[in-house]
Chain A
Amino acid sequence: MNMSGMTTAITPTPKVAAMNETKVSARDVQVYYGDKHAIRDVNIEIRSRTVTAFIGPSGCGKSTFLRCINRMNDTIASCRVEGNISIDSENIYDPKVDPVQLRAKVGMVFQKPNPFPKSIFENVAYGPRIHGLAAKKSDLDDIVASALQKAGLWNEVKDRLDSPGTGLSGGQQQRLCIARAVAVSPEVILMDEPCSALDPIATAKVEELIHELRENFTIVIVTHSMQQAARVSQRTAMFHLGNLVEENDTDKMFTNPDDQRTQDYIMGRFG
Chain B
Amino acid sequence: MKKELFSDFLIKYAEIGIKGRNRYMFEDALVARIKSSLENIDGSFRVYKTPGRIFVSAESEFDFDEVVDALSHVFGIVGICPVVRLEKDTPESLYESVVSYMKEMYGDELCAKGATGESCVKILKERGLNAESPKDALSNDNFGKVKWQEALPSINRGKDDTISFKIFARRESRNFPLDSMELNVEVGEAVLNAFPGLKVDVHHPEMIVYVEIRDKIYLYSEILPGPGGMPVGTGGHAMLLLSGGIDSPVAGYMMAKRGVTIDAVYFHAPPYTSERALQKVVDLAKIISKYTGPINMHVINFTDIQLAIYEKCPHDELTIIMRRYMMRIAEHLAEKSGALALVTGESVGQVASQTLASLVCTNEVCSLPVLRPLICFDKQDIVEISEKIGTYETSILPFEDCCTIFVAKHPVTKPLRSVIEKHEHNLDEVIDDLLEKAYETDRVIEIR
The reply to whether chain A is a binding partner of chain B is no
